[in-house]
Amino acid sequence: MALISVGIDHEHASLDLLERATVYEHEWSKVLRALMCQRNIHEAVFVSTCLRTEVVAVIDLFHGAIDEITHTLSDVTGLATEAFADHLTVHFDRGVANHLFSVAAGLKSVVPGEFEVLGQLRRALELATEEQTAGTELTELFQRAIASGRRVRSETQIARGTTSFAQAAVAMATEEFGVDLAGADVVIIGAGQLAGGIARNLLGAPARLRQLTVVNRTVERAQRLRDEVGDERVTVGALADLSTLISRARLVVAAVEVSTPIVTRPDLERCDQDVLFVDLGIPRAVASDTHDLANVQRIDIGDLRERVEQALDDRHEAVDAAREIVSDDVERFLTDQRARGASSIVSDLREYFDEIVAGEMTRRERDIDDLTPEQREKVASLLRSVVAKIAHRPTVALKEAAGTDQGTRLSETTRTLFDL
């Protein structure tokens, strides 16, 4: 068996494709169950965020598993396989660890070092554990990757400054687009982790806004966010009143999962004062045809990505340091994995040889009947010593090659030769 990861991410696919490939979190369980019905998949973890839809799995046959994962993604997203086959990112065995550890470190995020990805990976593993699709191998992989991600953020400066969509979105709105928050009304659509981060950043801005209204499909969740923030400027609005709230706002931030835009063209046309829409939704939450509307400006994750890349010149050293930590942690993980992978076959091989020695001593009992107990033990010790020397080289080879394709072949051959 081997490790594989197959996915669509922002580094190799357009925002349009990512938008269409997004799978809502409440549907992840269905994806996991579909994956486990496949012939070549033994363990699976699935994660789908605004910038990544990915399967990490323990598999049998490489090409067979890719076909099964691809067809599963096609079924759950409604996309034809031809629509995303050329944009898939595939990693195998060692490459899976390198990839996942880098993702956890924030090295593959639009905002390097951002913290949200750790929570996303943790939730994906928790759900796979609940669905019993993550065994010991994937659990260890994800736990070690998350721990490495925490280490990167504590030992490097990669998390200095803008470290999340929330911070980057607020900074871009106020600095680059010049939105004056002083006395302004702001609307946040959504009440999840990202929306909460945006709310806190806006409320903590030097320019004191007048009112921040949280609008969400589930009113109780919006109320919970209001209570958690604990600021008298935060109110909860009804989804039915969104159009009216937008018409009075200076800034609108959409941080919500929707299948179709929740802010439509007619809503935008009602804006008779300057307003900036920050659309962090994938699929998009705000209608994109705004170029002919004089009072409306709109930015999305693509704009945010460009701004962040321009602002990272002073963090190259931190990124390099983060990569070194990831490389070190991956090597430690693979070393431990090799040791665990070899322990079973080596233990079985040694037990097999010990049984041969014990069996021969029993079979030749009459031949050594005239020996004293001490002499018998010397004979047994000699036999064990000879067998240990014969077993030494195969044992070393199995340990050194464990966790690789060669190791898999050696293990299979060893079990076949010795009928283990």
| Distance separating alpha carbons of residues 309 and 318, to the nearest angstrom | 14
| Distance separating alpha carbons of residues 6 and 100, to the nearest angstrom | 11
Say if CB 61 and CB 85 are below 8 A apart.
no
37 classed as catalytic: no
Instruction: For the beta carbon of residue 199, count every other beta carbon within 10 angstroms.
Output: 27
Say if CB 184 and CB 251 are below 8 A apart.
yes
Q: How far is CA 406 from CA 149, 151, 225, 370, 419, in A?
A: 30, 32, 53, 48, 19
DSSP 119-175: HHHHHHHHHHHHTT---HHHHHHHHHHHHHHHHHHHHSSTTSS--SHHHHHHHIIII
**Annotated catalytic residue within 2, 50, 225, 318:** 50
| Distance separating alpha carbons of residues 143 and 31, to the nearest angstrom | 21
Is the preceding omega at residue 394 within 30 degrees of 0, hence cis? no
Residue numbers annotated as active site: 50
